[in-house]
Structure 1
Amino acid sequence: MKITKRFKNAYKAFKNNSADIELEHLLDFLGLKGVNKDDLSEATYFACLKVLSESIGKLPLKLLKYTDKNGVTAARDHPLYRILKERPNPYMTASTFWSTVEYNRNHFGNAYILIDGAGEDTKLWILDDRKMQIWYDDARLLGENADIYYLYSSGSKFYKFGSEEILHFKTSHTFDGITGVSVRQQLKTSIQGNLKSQELLNKMYENGFTAKAVVQYTGSLSDDNVKTFISGIEDYATGKLENEGIRNIIPMPLGATLTPLNIKLADNQFIEVKQYSALQIASAFGIKPYQIGDYTKSSYASAEAQQLSFYVDTLLYILKQYEEEISYKLLSQYELDQGLHFKFNISVILRADLKTQIETLSTAVGNFIYTPNEARALLDMEAKEGGDKLLGNGASIPVNLAGIQYQKGDDTNE
């Protein structure tokens, strides 16, 4: 088969796939698909998405530059500084934008951002994962160079984007290093099991914790009469006649007996199984048990220790991926060589109580690490005159002069 014909067939398949996606959404909207795979009513799954998306959304993203003296300074004069830190596009604040990106990354396995414009005119737009396909064009059908291309469908139109035009963030679950696999796909059975267990519990609440019942009656009834007979009893049992003032009484005809078959949750270890399943889902996301309300095995000394553990075990990998992708796609090679790079400010989640902050900053100022004005800036206080000098203990001396104070002076009395 010729290359051009293969490309046309692949393109046709891509169009058909997008049509299937639209049909799938329509069936979901009309309620014709049973349990919706995008359903967020599973409490643990929703809580994990919320924790991760809000954690990323609350971290300021800054553009920094290494100085000639191996220091770091904020590149506030760069046109991208305010765009990524404050408003990536006209309709979203930075907090909303990055939390939405993180939500998509976890829920779908991939998050795609279109880079529109350059310099001061740069705008970032979040694209729908369900309308995106990734092609590696080794046959050079889509461009002059063998590259990864992103094909995006929007209505009846299709767009082709090169790898340098898309910011692509993926989960750590990936088999090819290009596309990520969502936690929802990995734990599909556990999440659906939790949804069904919650549905069961809801039905039991509705039925007064009576799952099923056996009706004994004398005589013979046709199938249609049995259905009518049972339907009437069920209306009373399930509270469908509450509007008529009938709540707790079930009338039974002469010669009929109703025997309830109760389900005991304790006998089936319902709570234990559900708790174990919730911990499995949280563990797959890297979420700590205390973050989903489970304090049974909390062993942290302080809230600060909890946040540090969450940062090291979970957020560090995510933030590193964001910083690497954003710096590589949004900065030129010249700017990278000049030491420009993007970095999230993680101090906002590792911030200690005010007393500890004051003591830590005082120690840093007294040991030539921070100037007073740098310490005041971390407390959101204005700079003061004379506060830009390093201060410290006057007894401190350079290491190459250690012990010089104990040497005897030369006698020059001759």
Structure 2
Amino acid sequence: MGFLRGLFNKKNNNDEKRSNYDEDIGIDISDSNFWEKFGIKLNFSVRGKRALKENTVYVCTKIRAESIGKLSLKIYKDKEEYKEHELYYLLRYKPNPLMSSINFWKCLETQRTLKGNAYAYIERDRKGKIIGLYPINSDNVTKIIDDDNFLSSLSKVWYVVTDKNGKEHKLLPDEMLHFIGDITLDGLIGIKPLDYLRCTIENGRATQEFINKFFKNGLSIKGIVQYVGDLDEKAKKIFKKEFESMSNGLENAHSISLLPFGYQFQPISLSMADAQFLENSKLTKRELAATFGMKSYHLNDLERATFNNLTEQQKDFYVTTLQSSLTVYEQEIQDKLFSQYETLQDVKAEFNVDTILRSDIKTRYEAYRIGIQGGFIEANEARRRENLPPVEGGDRLLVNGNMIPIEMAGEQYKKGGEKGGK
């Protein structure tokens, strides 16, 4: 437990400044240096909580983390739920004494989304039995490929973890779960999405500031005032101040302004729509959302929405975004937590995605009817999917006709034939 104490327990006064969230998982998103770790150094303040409040980054991170966090991770054997497995409770309910499964997976997916990599330490007892999984701050982990056995001949891959006291711990691959992000160039380390999006975020902030100034000045550039004659600098400043006081702001957007004799106002028709700043703002959101595997409807931008209902949106989100992420988790867990023998015996951990792919009740019941009458779905199987208790006789396959058990199909015709043949 010495290694874990170094990661999770506070050792100095500086740690008092870290949030309760940090005490649990080693991350403080309110830290002023948080976003600088992604290489983002802007004139605008895009760090910590203010950065996550950028609606695209915040919404994308939140939806992805919560979508995976709420899914149940279960162990199966031959496609049947395997509750007797020693890791079932740990994966399904409580990976470690400090957090529940939903917070564990939300933490990991947040790190995968923002940092490109997520890590979890595999704790074992003296007999080698897995007794806990602990997420580790990605910033404190370095993955080393040791082709020349410089560190040791035991492994060609090492994870070096730096704890809160600055001490380095060298871990073998079977001691660390490594979940790579959506983008990787070498298959070994994920890329931080915000490194790539640095320029996009900067442009988005600059665009928003310009839009705010546009609104402040009445939604559009009004025009040019022409004066036949000469004005000294003092007179120009006085006129500019008086004219702006009559025309600026939403309250004066459609009011009438009176000009002194000799002045002529020539309007310029350049609205925000003409300048396409609102469109540019939406494009920025779409670009950010697409990078995180999200769609515009997640950001309440329904201008070009193509889905008719929530069910279609959920299925699209699963196919285009979640399925790949869940596969990353499942394959790493299979490789690190299960033996080769168990894998060959079809023992595996899978996320239950029924809640995501769940159709409306009419569509579901129609599908069950077709499956049951077609003889390839049992009645109790359909009931389990609806969280209903089994019924007697519901574990038998039926076929259409008189809805008799499949092994009895044709018996009634056989008896009738024998009787008529006498």
Same fold (TM over 0.5): yes
Cα 1:379–1:183 shift into 2, 3 Å: same
Residue number in structure 1 paired with 2:201: 191
Residue number in structure 2 paired with 1:296: 303
- Per mean C-alpha deviation after superposition, the further-off stretch among 159-168 and 304-313 is 304-313
How far off is 1:299 after superposition?
Answer: 2.1
Question: After TM superposition, where is structure 1 displaced by more than 6 Å over at least 4 residues in a row?
Answer: 26-29, 203-211, 218-221, 395-398
Residue number in structure 1 paired with 2:62: 50
Amino acid in structure 2 at the alignment position of 1:191:
I
SS for the counterpart of 1:294 is coil
Separation of aligned partners in 2, 1:164 and 1:75? 23
Cα 1:27–1:33 shift into 2, 3 Å: farther
Matched, 1:92 2:65: no
SS for the counterpart of 2:357 is coil
Amino acid in structure 1 at the alignment position of 2:92:
K
SS for the counterpart of 2:383 is helix
Pairing partner for 2:367 from 360, 365, 381: 360
5 Å matches for 1:264-303?
Answer: 265-303=272-310
Amino acid in structure 1 at the alignment position of 2:340:
Q
Question: What is the aligned-residue RMSD (CA, Å)?
Answer: 4.5
SS for the counterpart of 1:297 is coil
How far off is 1:305 after superposition?
Answer: 2.3
Per-residue displacement from partner, 1:369-405 (whole Å, max 9, x unpaired)?
332222222111222233222233258979xx9xx99
How far off is 1:192 after superposition?
Answer: 1.9
How far off is 1:340 after superposition?
Answer: 0.6
Per-residue displacement from partner, 1:283-334 (whole Å, max 9, x unpaired)?
2222122122121222224332222222222222111111111111111122
Residue number in structure 2 paired with 1:8: none
Residue number in structure 1 paired with 2:396: 389
Normalised by the length of structure 2, the TM-score is 0.70
SS for the counterpart of 2:272 is coil
Cα 1:49–1:168 shift into 2, 3 Å: same
Residue number in structure 2 paired with 1:134: 143
SS for the counterpart of 2:134 is strand
- Per mean C-alpha deviation after superposition, the further-off stretch among 381-390 and 127-136 is 381-390
Contact 2:73 2:350 in 1 (8 A): yes
Residue number in structure 2 paired with 1:147: 156
Contact 2:145 2:157 in 1 (8 A): yes
Contact 2:76 2:347 in 1 (8 A): yes
Structure 1: gaps (5+ residues): 1-22, 67-71, 212-217, 222-232, 237-262
Cα 1:266–1:297 shift into 2, 3 Å: closer
Matched, 1:331 2:343: no
Separation of aligned partners in 1, 2:274 and 2:82? 63
Residue number in structure 2 paired with 1:173: 183
Separation of aligned partners in 2, 1:24 and 1:299? 40
Cα 1:270–1:26 shift into 2, 3 Å: closer
Pairing partner for 1:115 from 119, 122, 127: 122
Separation of aligned partners in 2, 1:114 and 1:383? 40
Amino acid in structure 1 at the alignment position of 2:201:
I
Separation of aligned partners in 2, 1:396 and 1:378? 22
Separation of aligned partners in 1, 2:272 and 2:140? 43
Cα 1:143–1:90 shift into 2, 3 Å: same
- Per mean C-alpha deviation after superposition, the further-off stretch among 103-112 and 286-295 is 286-295
Amino acid in structure 2 at the alignment position of 1:45:
V
Separation of aligned partners in 1, 2:368 and 2:155? 52
Cα 1:117–1:396 shift into 2, 3 Å: closer
Size of the aligned set, in residue pairs, is 360
Amino acid in structure 2 at the alignment position of 1:340:
V
Separation of aligned partners in 2, 1:144 and 1:63? 34
Structure 2: gaps (5+ residues): 1-30, 222-230, 235-241, 246-269
Per-residue displacement from partner, 1:247-291 (whole Å, max 9, x unpaired)?
xxxxxxxxxxxxxxxx95345321011111111111222212212
Pairing partner for 1:83 from 85, 90, 113: 90
Residue number in structure 2 paired with 1:342: 349
Separation of aligned partners in 2, 1:368 and 1:281? 47
Cα 1:37–1:142 shift into 2, 3 Å: farther
Contact 1:371 1:390 in 2 (8 A): yes
Cα 1:342–1:98 shift into 2, 3 Å: same
SS for the counterpart of 1:184 is helix
Pairing partner for 1:162 from 156, 166, 172: 172
Separation of aligned partners in 2, 1:287 and 1:81? 31
Cα 1:343–1:26 shift into 2, 3 Å: closer
How far off is 1:341 after superposition?
Answer: 0.7
Separation of aligned partners in 2, 1:363 and 1:150? 52
Amino acid in structure 2 at the alignment position of 1:144:
S
Amino acid in structure 1 at the alignment position of 2:280:
V
How far off is 1:37 after superposition?
Answer: 5.4
How far off is 1:179 after superposition?
Answer: 0.6
Separation of aligned partners in 1, 2:379 and 2:136? 45
Matched, 1:41 2:53: yes
Amino acid in structure 1 at the alignment position of 2:187:
G
Per-residue displacement from partner, 1:94-127 (whole Å, max 9, x unpaired)?
1221122111101001111111126875211111
Separation of aligned partners in 1, 2:406 and 2:94? 47
Residue number in structure 2 paired with 1:224: none
Residue number in structure 1 paired with 2:134: 125
How far off is 1:58 after superposition?
Answer: 2.0
Normalised by the length of structure 1, the TM-score is 0.72
Pairing partner for 2:111 from 104, 113, 116: 104
How far off is 1:91 after superposition?
Answer: 2.2
5 Å matches for 1:391-406?
Answer: 391-393=398-400, 394=403
SS for the counterpart of 2:178 is strand
Amino acid in structure 2 at the alignment position of 1:134:
K
